[in-house]
């Protein structure tokens, strides 16, 4: 059976996360989004692990993210809570904040971490592999320089898609995961990226781990759904203070210091994948599934009616769609456009534009998310000034 799975989130015990990001809210709002399987996140945190153990029979996958001594973030999946306790015991010797932050820092390198995870039967791969702050390609020019062996997968991150990742030759034999990295249960965060997978069954933690393991080992990811990479906040090379966008040549010429405000320029994922690509070609292996671009329904409604996310106007229309169709993912990718327009003509038109790749997108960079637009908008470039036509097809 085909399921929708978001396999990277965080709990209320991670910094910058909603205090309501608990198992109860995750299990309540995951199905409303359209998710069948959700990773727990943060399973090395003692209090969170205690909460997880009460829900071991639910459609959850035991997971955590850790930061190593090189500031590389690793995404880890474990068979059951006993293995989480084992890994926690090992990492506790090398971590000063394992109970202070759901995403702990561990003073080990990638090779030591992958060995520790595989010793207890877990799965591991780099989280948000291309982002400019805490990713494997920020610290290394090759995944093998970090792990010295092949990981089980890579996570694309919000600023990349399969076209970009398959420009990098060493990644073309690896499964790609598209996950939300959500810090809240709201529908514009949870499941904003997800994977469609072909599994035999879902059950408790152990069953779900074995199913995901088979999916990764036997290339049973049937589709990746995620943001247009232009919407990611690190897609283009840009200043982290004033968000002026730069070509890589201009950024290099200015020694990655913004001449406009003296802020730091961060290399974007777009430029990073080009830099990593030796042949400058997108070559998909035969098993690679299609990457479908989506955007959260609340953001579409917000653009359509000109009201902010979280306002009563947006919430009311969102609830109308959920009441009729059951979950958000079906509205975004499956339901007939003519029927969607009956609830709200403007919302239906925006969904239609997005499905046909005719929406304008202001590209993100430097930590500023991109956003969708009904009309072309001038990008804030150092030089030259370009319109969105240069980046997004009409």
CA distance 373 to 203: 41
Indicate the fold that domain 2-230 takes in CATH: TIM Barrel (3.20.20)
- Show the tokens assigned to 104: 């702990």
| Percent of the chain residues topping a pLDDT of 70 | 97
% the chain with pLDDT above 90: 93
Mean pLDDT, residues 34-63: 97
Contact 19, 184 (CB under 8 A): no
Average pLDDT along the chain: 95
* pLDDT tens-digit series, residues 69-105: 999 999 999 999 999 999 999 999 999 999 999 999 9
Three-class SS state of 387: strand
Q: Is 258 exposed, middle or buried (0-12, 13-18, 19+ CB in 10 A)?
A: buried
Contact indicator for 156, 7 with CB cutoff of 8 Å: no
Selection from 59, 72, 66 nearest residue 45 by Cα: 66
Model pLDDT, residue 383: 83
pLDDT digits (tens, 9 = 90+) for 269-297: 999 999 999 999 999 999 999 999 999 99
> By CB neighbour count within 10 A (0-12 exposed, 13-18 middle, 19+ buried), where does 170 fall?
middle
Q: What is the CA radius of gyration of the chain?
A: 21
Does the pLDDT value for residue 392 go beyond 70?
Answer: no
Q: How confident is the model at residue 377 (pLDDT cuts 50, 70, 90)?
A: confident
- Full-model pTM: 0.94
Give the pLDDT confidence score for residue 184 in this predicted structure: 97
Can you give the pLDDT at residue 365? 96
Q: How far apart are CA 364 and CA 272, in angstroms?
A: 15
Which of the four pLDDT bands, split at 50, 70 and 90, describes residue 384? low
Domain locations in the chain as residue ranges: 2-230
């Amino acid at each position: 059976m085909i399921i929708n799975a978001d396999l990277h989130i965080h709990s209320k015990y991670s910094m910058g996360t909603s205090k309501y990001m608990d198992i109860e809210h995750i299990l309540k709002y995951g199905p409303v989004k359209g998710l069948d399987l959700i990773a727990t996140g943060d399973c090395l945190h003692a209090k969170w692990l205690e909460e997880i153990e009460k829900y071991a029979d639910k459609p959850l996958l035991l997971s955590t993210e850790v930061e190593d001594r090189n500031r590389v973030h690793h995404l880890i999946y474990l068979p059951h809570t006993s293995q989480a306790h084992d890994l926690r015991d090992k990492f506790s010797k090398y971590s000063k904040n394992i109970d202070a932050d759901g995403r702990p820092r561990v003073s080990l390198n990638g090779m030591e971490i992958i060995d520790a995870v595989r010793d207890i039967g877990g799965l591991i791969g780099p989280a948000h592999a291309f982002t400019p702050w805490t990713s494997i390609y920020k610290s290394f020019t090759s995944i093998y320089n970090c792990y010295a062996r092949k990981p089980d997968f890579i996570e694309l991150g919000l600023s990349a898609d399969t076209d970009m990742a398959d420009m990098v030759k060493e990644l073309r034999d690896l499964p790609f995961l598209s996950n939300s990295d959500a810090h809240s249960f709201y529908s514009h965060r949870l499941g904003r990226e997800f994977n469609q997978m072909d599994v035999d069954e879902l059950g408790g933690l152990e069953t779900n781990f074995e199913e995901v393991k088979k999916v990764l080992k036997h290339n049973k990811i049937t589709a990746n759904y995620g943001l247009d990479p232009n919407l990611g906040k690190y897609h283009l090379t840009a200043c982290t203070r004033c968000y002026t966008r730069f070509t890589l040549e201009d950024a290099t010429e200015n020694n990655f210091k913004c001449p406009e405000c003296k802020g730091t320029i961060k290399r974007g994922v777009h430029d990073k994948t080009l830099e990593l690509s030796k042949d400058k070609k997108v070559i998909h292996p035969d098993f690679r599934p299609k990457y479908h671009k989506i955007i959260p329904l609340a953001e579409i409604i917000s653009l359509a009616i000109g009201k902010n996310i979280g306002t009563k106007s947006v919430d009311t229309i969102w609830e109308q769609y959920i009441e009729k169709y059951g979950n958000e993912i079906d509205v975004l990718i499956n339901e007939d456009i003519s029927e969607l327009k009956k609830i709200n003509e403007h919302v239906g038109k925006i969904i239609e534009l997005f499905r046909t790749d005719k929406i304008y997108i202001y590209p993100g960079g430097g930590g500023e998310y991109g956003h969708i637009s009904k009309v072309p908008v001038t990008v804030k470039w150092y030089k030259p000034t370009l319109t969105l036509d240069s980046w997004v097809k009409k």
